[in-house]
Amino acid sequence: MKVRVHVSLKNGVLDPQGRAIHHALEGLGFAGVNDVRAGRLIELDMADSVTDEALDEMCRKLLANMVIENYRIEKVA
């Protein structure tokens, strides 16, 4: 089972990296970018026997920091 975990900053948490990327895009002359938020994509290859609960726990215990981040689990195949 291939799983993708998308980790992103919560709304309201300032994202200095996203802001720097935004600034760089503008510097390159790209217009019309309103906002940039940078996150992290973690791909996991795991046994089919891994439960949704266990996957959720992995995200909460390690993959995301719940103080500042949200996560979304996407099962690829």
Partner 1 sequence: MAFSAAVITFPGSNCDRDMAVAIEEICGGTVHRVWHGDAGLPEGLDFIALPGGFSYGDYLRSGAMAARSPVMQAVVEQAGRGVPVLGVCNGFQVLTEAGLLPGALMRNAGIRFVCRDVKLTVETSQSLFTARYFKGQTITIPVAHHDGNYFADEATLDRLEGEGRVAFRYAEPVNGSQRDIAGVLNEAGNVLGMMPHPERMIEEAQGGSDGRRLFESVLGSLGVSA
Residue ranges that bind partner 1, judged by CB under 8 A = 13-14, 16-17, 20, 61-63, 65, 67-68
Residue 69 CB, nearest approach to partner 1 (Å) = 9
Work out the end-to-end distance of the chain between its first and last CA atoms, rounded to an integer number of angstroms: 6
CA angle 68, 73, 22 (to 5 degrees): 50
**Helix, strand or coil for residue 38?**
coil
Given the complex with partner 1, which of 29 and 61 has the nearer CB atom? Answer: 61
* Strand runs labelled E in 21-77: 40-45, 69-75
Given the complex with partner 1, which of 16 and 32 has the nearer CB atom? Answer: 16
Given the complex with partner 1, which of 14 and 77 has the nearer CB atom? Answer: 14
Residue 48 CB, nearest approach to partner 1 (Å) = 25
